[in-house]
Amino acid sequence: MIIGIDASRANLKRKTGTEWYSFYLIKNLARLDRENKYWLYLNEEPSEELKAAVIDNPNFIFKVLTWPLYSFWTLGRLSWEMIWHRPDVLFIPAHTMPLIYPKKTVNTIHDIAFMRDSSLYRSAKAKTEGPFFRKLIELMVIIVTRGKYHSESIDYLYWSTEFALNRAKKIITVSQFTKDEIINVYPQVKKEKIKVVHNGYNNENYRQIKDKAKIAEIKEKYELEFPYFLYIGRIEKKKNIPALIEALSILKENNPEVKEKMVLIGDASFGYDEVKYIIEEYNLNEEVIMPGWIEEDDLPYILSGASAFIFPSKHEGFGIPLLQAMACGVPVAASDIPVFREVGADAFLGFDQQDKEAMAKAMVTLVKDQSLREKLISRGYKRAAEFSWEKCARETWQEITNFD
């Protein structure tokens, strides 16, 4: 059997959640399946990292599909490929389906937060080489969607999600929460075709680290030689970073004995300007450190050097950083939202993500309550051990190779 995979996200250098999901699924599928042939579709030459992930399995073949436009590679070039060289099964791990697709197509949908609160997402025009192509793409989108949508990014989310839910033979969601959300928002979708396969995390990297000298070395590399709370993810509104900064201000005002700074690791995204403004407004320039995106190999050491991991998201499809922190032996405080309870169980301290006072109190508690810290760390190790990318890949393989 030939299985095609959209590997374009796995090929990106600066990966976050969905990109790592794509990458580690491909890497672990290459380890466990020596019988089927895999075509990995890319919009540019494969990175050395992606090559290394599948180098030991000759059944994994890269297919670079060139496309002249900045946007709509999936809808254009991948659709064209499906006409002439169609695989037996197509798996889309972190993007939209092509317009033309095999009967056996599986699409992962990570979350539908945009349906709950579209204000958390930037609505930008599609990237093009000039006004002519922008008008052409706008016209094509209007034709394809019969006038229902335009070429803005938020419209693309609306359309691509609905298209996948209606057309894919099978849908994978990374949490029961996301499946329940889809059933609630899209009642026309048959719930039987939605399969839950939990995300994993890189348990080869994220683990208890006892090398204090190496931790100190990595902290010094990023100039983090002080006690700190840690957040990992995009710096954006969806992650509730503005509220986290305000909570830090409350903490500093009411608890001057707590010396922890706040380290925010991740790329700037929608809402970053608001974060910068709040930092300035509360005079926290020396208390909030933003080193940007960091290589994954360094993250376990930065995590291990943190006083606590804080994850204040308003909405998530899963929450991989929860597991990464737990695996490194770091106590976690996070939004008390259903998906975090599904993933983290009783191994984190929950707070109301809309209550800045509660967020500040949780951070103080994790610094001062040694008994609770030890309890959460112990529970965290056990909870993280229940997840892995190998397990995720094995369950995903079952879904993409077995159809009724």
What is the structure's pLDDT at 145?
66
Q: How far apart are the first and last CA of the chain?
A: 16
Query: What pLDDT was estimated at residue 141?
Result: 65
pLDDT one digit per residue (tens) for the chain, 404 residues: 999 999 999 999 988 889 999 999 999 999 999 999 999 999 999 999 999 999 999 999 999 999 877 677 898 899 999 999 999 999 999 878 999 999 999 999 999 988 877 666 555 555 555 565 556 565 666 666 666 655 566 777 888 899 999 999 999 999 999 999 999 999 999 999 999 999 999 999 999 898 989 999 999 999 998 999 999 998 888 899 999 999 999 999 999 999 999 999 988 877 788 888 999 999 999 999 999 889 899 999 999 999 999 999 999 999 999 999 999 999 999 999 999 999 999 999 999 999 999 999 999 999 999 999 999 999 999 999 999 999 999 999 999 999 87
Residue 126 pLDDT: 57
The CATH number of the domain holding residue 394 is 3.40.50.2000
- Asked, for residue 206, whether it belongs to a domain, the answer is no
Q: Which domain covers residue 99, as residue numbers?
A: 2-200+389-401
- Please indicate, yes or no, whether residues 279 and 191 belong to a single structural domain of this protein: no
| 205: in domain | no
DSSP 78: I
The answer to whether residues 29 and 174 belong to one domain is yes
Number of domains in the chain: 2
Do 162 and 298 reside in the same domain of the chain? no
Distance CA 342, CA 38 (A): 32
Tell me, yes or no, whether 65 and 91 share the same domain. yes
Residue 163: in which H helix or E strand, if any? Answer: helix 153-167
Of 11, 48, 45, 44, give the one whose Cα is nearest residue 26.
11
3-state class (DSSP) for residue 173:
strand
Specify the pLDDT at position 237.
81
pLDDT at 146: 63
Cα(57)–Cα(24) distance, integer angstroms:
15
Rounded distance between C-alpha atoms, residue 34 and residue 23, angstroms: 18
Are 26 and 164 in the same domain? yes
